[in-house]
Amino acid sequence: MTYKVLYHQGEAVSLKTKARVGRLSLEGDRLLIHGEPGVSVPLEALQSVELYRLHGTGRMLKIRHEGGTLFVSVIRFSLFGLFAVVNFFATGRLHEELEAAMG
């Protein structure tokens, strides 16, 4: 399944973080985000996937992997990477898919 996501690569995220918009999919043995810049993480490199609520506003996934940390939220739409309407249920579904893919 493909998800429209807001994502950020880095160690932390806050309300002032400008994120990018892309399309996330699990293809074969990789997590791929088609965006600018693109992200490709082998599933065996995933260390943890944490589902939490950023400042009590919307769901976000904190994905730790061997190359760093990736923050992802499934969205309905975004305005300039600064404001987005998060798809609460789809973010939870993506969390379950990633947990299952990790084994």
Residue-level pLDDT at 91: 96
Joined together, the tokens standing for residue 74 give 């499934």
- Contact of 94 with 85, CB cutoff 8 Å: no
Residue-level pLDDT at 23: 97
Which amino acid does the sequence have at 54? L
100: CB partners within 8 A, 6+ apart:
none
Residue-level pLDDT at 57: 75
pLDDT along the chain (103 residues), means of 10: 94 86 94 95 96 83 96 92 88 96 85
pTM above 0.85, yes or no: yes
Residue-level pLDDT at 95: 96
Q: What's the alpha-carbon Rg for the chain, to the nearest Å?
A: 12
Structural domain count, the chain: 1
d(CA 39, CA 24): 9
CATH classification at residue 38: 2.30.29.30
Residue-level pLDDT at 31: 96
Give the other-Cβ count within 10 Å of 9's Cβ: 17
Q: Which domain holds residue 59?
A: 2-102
